[in-house]
Amino acid sequence: MDHPGKNALSTALLEHLERELQRADGQPVLLTGTGDAFSAGVDLKEIAGLDKAGIERFLVKLETVATKLFLHAAPTVALVNGHAIAGGCILAQACDWRLGIASERARMGLNELAIGASIPPACLRIVRHRLPPENVERVVFGAKLVSIEEALRLGLLDEIVQEDAMNTALTRLQAYTAHPRATYTLVKLALRAPAVRTTPEEQHRLREQEVPIWASTDMKQRIERVLGRGK
C-alpha cells in the first residue's frame, strides 16, 4: 500500500488493492505498507467531502476489498510495519497470518467508535472471526489504539519480529504455500465464507442507519477536528 496520509485507505487505494488481488489470480499475497505505516485507516479527507451516496459507495468498496482479501484463494500474510488503524487494522485481520514489526511508536486497533463511526457489517464479521471471542467487545467497544505488544495479546497479531521482518513474512507465506493449493482453498472457503456472509438485516442496517451516521453533520465536524481543521 502506498498512499499519502500513512497509506490512508482512499477509494483509489482500495481500487488498486482490488485490482492487485484480481491480478494475483489465486497466487499468494503479502500485504504491507510503504514507509513507516501499514495503514492509518480510511482517508478522512476523502470521507469529509462525500455525500450520503458517496459514503455508501466507499463503505461498500471497503467491505468488498476486505472480503476478497479474507477469501483470497491462496495464502495471505499481513506484514504490519507500523500503524494499523481502523480500516487498516481490518485489512490485517483479513490475512491468514498477521505479522507485526516490533516498534515502540506503532499503534494498532479499531478506534471507529471513538469518533462516532461504525464498522461495516462484513468488516465486523471478519473481526469477530479472527479475534478471540473474549476480546472482540474489548477491542471494538474500547476503541483504543494499542501497542504492538498489546495487539499480540489481544489477538490482533499472530507474531512479532524484531528484525528480518520481510524474510520472516516470506517464510510464513511459503509455509502456507507448501500445502496443496486446492485443499487449502477449499478449507479456507469452508471456514470463512459463512463467517463473512452478511444478512439482509445487516445490509439494511448499513444503508439505513450506518451510512447516515457517516454522512451526518456531526460526523463531518468530528472528522474536521481529527484533521485539525475544526474547533
- Determine the structural domain holding residue 28 and report its residue range: 4-164+176-226
Query: Residue 177 — pLDDT band, cuts 50, 70, 90?
Result: very high
| Mean pLDDT of all residues in 7-27 | 97
- CATH code assigned at 18: 3.90.226.10
Answer yes or no: is pLDDT of 36 > 60: yes
Residue-wise pLDDT tens digits, 158-170: 999 999 999 999 9
Alpha-helical runs (H) found in 49-199: 52-70, 87-93, 121-130, 133-142, 148-154, 165-177, 181-192
Read off the pLDDT of residues 72-81 as tens digits, 9 standing for 90 and up: 999 999 999 9
Distance CA 44, CA 219 (A): 11
Contact at 8 Å (CB) between 12 and 59? no
In a domain, 38, yes or no: yes
Residue 231 in any domain: the answer is no
- Total domain count, the chain: 1
pLDDT at 228: 84
Please tell me the predicted confidence (pLDDT) of residue 81.
98
Look up cell 480510511; give the residue: 42
What mean pLDDT comes out for the span 94-106? 97
Does residue 31 form part of some domain?
Answer: yes
Q: Is residue 170 part of a domain?
A: no
What is the value of pTM for the model shown?
0.97
Cβ-Cβ contacts under 8 Å for 14 (sequence gap 6 or more): 61, 62, 64, 65
At 20, the pLDDT band (50, 70, 90 cuts) reads very high
pLDDT at 229 over 80: no
- Distance of alpha carbon 169 from alpha carbon 157, whole angstroms: 13
The confidence score (pLDDT) of residue 230 equals 54
* Res 99: pLDDT: 98
Alpha-carbon 59 to chain mean position: 12
Interval 154-159 mean pLDDT: 98
Q: What is the mean pLDDT of the chain?
A: 96
